[in-house]
Structure 1
Amino acid sequence: MTNKQLVLQTDFGLGDGAVSAMYGVAKTISKDLFIADLTHEITPYNIWEASYRLYQTINYWPSGTVFVSVVDPGVGSTRKSVCALTKTGHYIITPDNGTLSHVARFFGLKEVRQINENTERLSHSAESHTFHGRDVYAYNGARLASQQIELSDLGTPLPVDQIETLELLEPQVADQTITGMIDILDIRFGSLWTNIPLEALKQLDISRGDTLVTTISHQGKEVYRNEIPFVRSFADVALNEPLIYINSLVKVGIALNQASFSQVHHIGTGNDWQVTLHKSR
């Protein structure tokens, strides 16, 4: 590992000093560290979002980069703290609460170590049990990124297949219909990002210019149905009109041109939100 890069993700927001404290701990470990923010705007306690944002991001950073992800509703409990080495060569320090789900599925994990929270932590922090982001995760992330320790120094190995994972549903193609789920939102613009890959559209000979019957259901109950054009970009439809496009991860997105699809139609994300697509007949 030659990169001295540390990337932080939390649900802390920037309204107080929590993130700055994590920066301070990391810089105290090594002034030479390059520290970047993935995001600190994960919806509070939303492990699914944390898992997806890592998947969205890590492969665009050099191998050897260390990620610290702290979305930790179980802080201070018996949940494990872990450091994972992905098959892409990235390190992720995080609670073992499902945050590694997407990365484990799509990139694979090579090794996982359970961090000893009693010994591998910031000096004089033993009586604090509610800020592991600073005392355990940023501290160890900085030590690993600055090459002061190796992965093997952090604790005992865990079987890769025994980490906590969230259920990730696979998209299905059958009877000229594609079924998937809404993975995440393009937060600022309110577009829906599904888990349906472009290849699934090609499998059904769907191409740009086609109109797709689009149904969105929540816990099995239909909440939206419309015929939507599959286009190249937002500019291909009128303002406030719906469109289907291919997003930056080469998967199906559903949007309104210059409006928030998720807000207008009250659509959420995760396993409970199913989307089906088929050509208009």
Structure 2
Amino acid sequence: MKRICLGLWLLITIPVFAQNKMVVFQSDFGLKDGAVAAMKGVAMRVSPDLKLYDLTHEIPAYNIWEAAYRLEQTVPYWSEGTVFVSVIDPGVGTERKSVVLKTNTGQFIVTPDNGTLTLVAASLGIAAIREIDETVNRRKDSGKSYTFHGRDVYAYTAARLAAGTITFEQVGPPLPNRVVTIPFQQPVLENGLLKGNIAILDIQYGNIWTNIPAELFNQLKPAYGDNLHVSFFHNDKKVTVVDAPYSETFGAVAKGKPLAYLNSLMQLSFALNQDSFAEVHHIGSGSEWRVEISLSHKK
């Protein structure tokens, strides 16, 4: 009886991250040809019961950093057991490892270990990581294809995992709980100077999104209307300097004028009201872009 009770207690108290038959795809393939459809076709041949979704296929070609950002932006909103496929793979066919990472929150990410996991591994944590055993987890008769691992290895392995055809342990051998990372400016506050990375552009509108969280920004005790003096750097070369009032809404400033605000992820961001900050000031995003910010309280 004690053993039965202990077993029930373990089932109740230890989280079980079972696959849920959902696969979410991300790539830099675009939708102009059949590459995405081919990956989904491979998945559906594994199991027609799978539910297939798209994160995005508009990652700029070879842009591993943006792939890393989109995973961090999206993965936390999906339920445990969801399997993600991320194929931004400029090193396809080389010695980079093909892996499946299980996050501490129970999602799985199937991808080359080339920096794509930089952000999500840090924010969600690594429960475990395994290298894909291609002798088992590779589409049949694809062994001589070296340039489309997204179809032949990643989509196939993800579908088998999501469908429950294989367990996570059957993906392949375990690896140390670390991944290839891309260096970037971490958000810090030093002597009243905020430093952070330009993580991404809100590309539709040209807004600048940093990785500086509201909690860190609020240590400056900002009030709406306070002025932020912002320097933008690319590879440590200063590109431009802009003064922007901290604002609650875009309409708090005149059309075309700059403002600072907290975006939907509660991170410090910059915009021009009804114009593109990125285009006007020639600002990009990625690991090589950063900002330095000081604040002047209004009188």
TM-score (norm 1): 0.96
Bigger share in strand: 1
**Paired residues, what number?**
280
Aligned partner of residue 111 in structure 2, secondary structure: strand
Rounded Cα–Cα distance in structure 2 between residues aligned with 1:23 and 1:2: 18
Conserved in 2, the CA contact under 8 Å of 1:227 and 1:280? no
Deviations 1:2-45 (A, max 9, x none): 52110000000001000011111111111111111000010100
For 2:242, the equivalent position in structure 1 comes to 226
For 1:90, the equivalent position in structure 2 comes to 107
Runs of 4 or more consecutive aligned structure 1 residues displaced over 4 Å after TM superposition: none
| Residue 215 (structure 2) pairs with residue 199 (structure 1) | yes
Deviations 1:105-131 (A, max 9, x none): 111111000002243111111111100
Aligned-partner residue type, residue 39 of structure 2: M
Aligned partner of residue 230 in structure 2, secondary structure: strand
TM-score (norm 2): 0.90
Conserved in 1, the CA contact under 8 Å of 2:83 and 2:162? yes
1:223 Cα deviation from its structure 2 partner: 1.3
Q: Indicate which of 111, 133, 137 corresponds to 1:120.
A: 137
| Residue 270 (structure 2) pairs with residue 254 (structure 1) | yes
Aligned-partner residue type, residue 201 of structure 2: L
Return 5+ residue gaps in structure 1 as ranges. none
For 1:106, the equivalent position in structure 2 comes to 123
Return 5+ residue gaps in structure 2 as ranges. 1-17
Rounded Cα–Cα distance in structure 1 between residues aligned with 2:19 and 2:193: 47
Q: Indicate which of 262, 265, 269 corresponds to 2:281.
A: 265
For 1:146, the equivalent position in structure 2 comes to 163
User: Which deviates more, 117-126 or 176-185?
Assistant: 117-126
1:271 Cα deviation from its structure 2 partner: 3.0
Q: Indicate which of 241, 264, 277 corresponds to 2:257.
A: 241
Deviations 1:232-252 (A, max 9, x none): 122222222211111121111
Q: 1:116 to 1:2 in 2, by over 3 A?
A: closer
Task: Indicate the structure (1 or 2) with the bigger Cα radius of gyration.
Answer: 2
Give the percent of matched residue pairs that are identical in Structure 1 and Structure 2.
Answer: 51
| Residue 74 (structure 2) pairs with residue 57 (structure 1) | yes
Q: What's the Cα RMSD here?
A: 1.3
Conserved in 1, the CA contact under 8 Å of 2:185 and 2:290? no
| Residue 229 (structure 2) pairs with residue 213 (structure 1) | yes
Rounded Cα–Cα distance in structure 2 between residues aligned with 1:103 and 1:147: 24
